[in-house]
Amino acid sequence: MGSPRNMQQLYQDAMAIVLKYGKPDLFMTMTTNPNWREILDNLLPGQKVSDRPDLVTRVFNMKVKELLKEIKKDNIFGVVIAYVYTIEYQKRSLPHMHMLIILHVDYKPRTPEIINKYVSAEIPDKETNHRLYDIVVKHMIRGPC
């Protein structure tokens, strides 16, 4: 696992999926939040998140499983006919996932209005939606790399 040969095979598998089902409709990334309650609540006194890669990975995998359920079973983007994903580790040893999703023809985003239903690149108004504003500012805005 993780060898050049294995990575080449995974790439070929992904390309076979695209050949059979078509080009992906959605690309998404999910990153670990080291401040997730499930992580912080299970650290021993004096421990840092970086001391527990096992805990971080377990919580991340639980969240990935829930996201996959929402995408595949709950159809939050419509009916999914195929998907591929990979999990990588950031410099701070935090896992993150990149995912490509291929939707059934009836659910493919074909207009800007449909795309805008799922994609947002704005900060909510602080006065009208204070809670969402706080969440976006806390979790979605990154400082300099």
DSSP secondary structure string, 26-71? EEEEEE--TT-HHHHTTPPTT--GGG-HHHHHHHHHHHHHHHHHHH
Tens-place pLDDT, residues 87-125: 999 877 899 999 999 999 999 999 999 888 888 788 999
AA identity, residue 11: Y
pTM of this prediction exceeds 0.95: no
Q: What percent of the chain has pLDDT over 90?
A: 78
If you average pLDDT over residues 65-90, what whole number do you get?
Answer: 96
- How many of the other CB atoms lie within 10 Å of CB of 61? 13
User: Is the CB of residue 80 less than 8 Å from the CB of residue 102?
Assistant: yes
pLDDT score, position 143: 64
Q: What is the DSSP letter of 107?
A: G
Residues 6+ positions from 36 with CB-CB distance below 8 Å:
59, 63
In three-state secondary structure terms, 127 is coil
